[in-house]
Structure 1
Amino acid sequence: MKIPLDYICVKSGLLCNRCQSLIDKGEVEHYEVDVMKILLDLEETQFRELKDAVYHKAFKVDNLLILLVTSPPTMSHQKWIKIAKILQEKLGLKVRILEKSNNIKSTASQLLSPARVLGVNTVWLPDGSVQYVIRISRNEKRFLPADENSLETALSKIHAIPIKIRVE
């Protein structure tokens, strides 16, 4: 798996100057080192397909960990679900693995599933900034993987734009 830190640093837990500076700058969070270590162990033992996958970033919001990855063509959705369950057991957090995308609707659909996204509205605020509103059905609210505020925070961090979830 392609990761932003050196393999040896992640495997050993001792960080070189370059890796430590990435953590100090905030480009990589400290908890991400543990996630990368587990993913590298899984690549060696169970999931050889992870060799061609790319790890982009992990976001931790309350009790939810969201991984942004780019999968190789050989990697199926079912295998990602198995990897998420293993990570869930080892980290004690709820884990969602998302395919990296610049499309807000695509990211929201992956994160909020099994709840369906009705649409994404763009709201232009008086100060000239933009905010996105993701609409979901009232009947689907119970299918959300976490509370609305946590999901809004996670989506806002992923896209670096204010995003709200509205239940209709």
Structure 2
Amino acid sequence: MKIPLDYLCVKSGLLCNRCQSLVDRGEVENFEIKVMEALLDLEESQFKELKESTYYKAIKVNNNLLILLVGSGPGMTIQKWVKVAKALQDKLGMKVRIMEKTNNIKSSAVQLLSPARVLGVNTVWLPDGSVQYVIRVSRNETRLLPADTLVLESALSKIHDTRVKIRVE
């Protein structure tokens, strides 16, 4: 798996100057080092297919962990990603969801809110010139949401660096 830090630094726990500067600038959080180490361990032991994947970022919201990847390698099916998430869940002791990093807010919402269906995404232009996205979900499918709506809103807001609301209709 391709990661932003050096393999040796992640494996040993001692960071070189370059890796330490990435952590100091906030480009990589401290908890992400443990996530990268767990992913590398899984790649070596169980999931050889992770070699072709690229780690982008991990986002922690309450006791949930979202792992954003850019491009998954050949041979990585949805079922395999679910198995990787389960293995990470056991290693890290928190709920894990793996998503593909996209700039499209609707595709991110579909991945995050699955198995609930997204009815649509509305763009709201606020008086101060900023943008807020409203993701619409059917009332019948709220029980299918993987977490509380506030947690999901927070996660989507962190992923896209903009305000996101989830509206149940």
Give TM-score scaled by structure 1 length.
0.98
Consecutive unaligned residues of structure 1, counting only runs of 5 or more, are: none
1:10-49 alignment, distance < 5 Å: 10-49=10-49
Pairwise CA distance, 1:72 = 1.3
Residue 127 of structure 1 corresponds to 128
Percentage of identical aligned residues: 73
Q: Structure 1 residue 99 and structure 2 residue 97: aligned?
A: no
1:63-82 alignment, distance < 5 Å: 63-69=63-69, 70-82=71-83
Q: Distance in 2 between matches of 1:12 and 1:133?
A: 43
Residue 86 of structure 2 corresponds to 85
Consecutive unaligned residues of structure 2, counting only runs of 5 or more, are: none
1:107-126 alignment, distance < 5 Å: 107-126=108-127
Residue 155 of structure 1 corresponds to 156
Pairwise CA distance, 1:74 = 2.2
Q: Distance in 2 between matches of 1:96 and 1:41?
A: 18
**One-letter amino acid of the counterpart of residue 113, structure 1:** S
User: SS of the counterpart of 1:18?
Assistant: helix
Structure 1 residue runs of 4 or more that deviate by more than 6 Å after TM superposition? none
CA deviation map 1:114-147 (0-9, x unaligned): 1110000000111111110000001111111111
Q: Distance in 2 between matches of 1:162 and 1:113?
A: 20
Residue 61 of structure 2 corresponds to 61
Pairwise CA distance, 1:48 = 0.9
Q: Distance in 2 between matches of 1:149 and 1:161?
A: 15
**How large is the RMSD of aligned CA atoms in angstroms?**
0.7
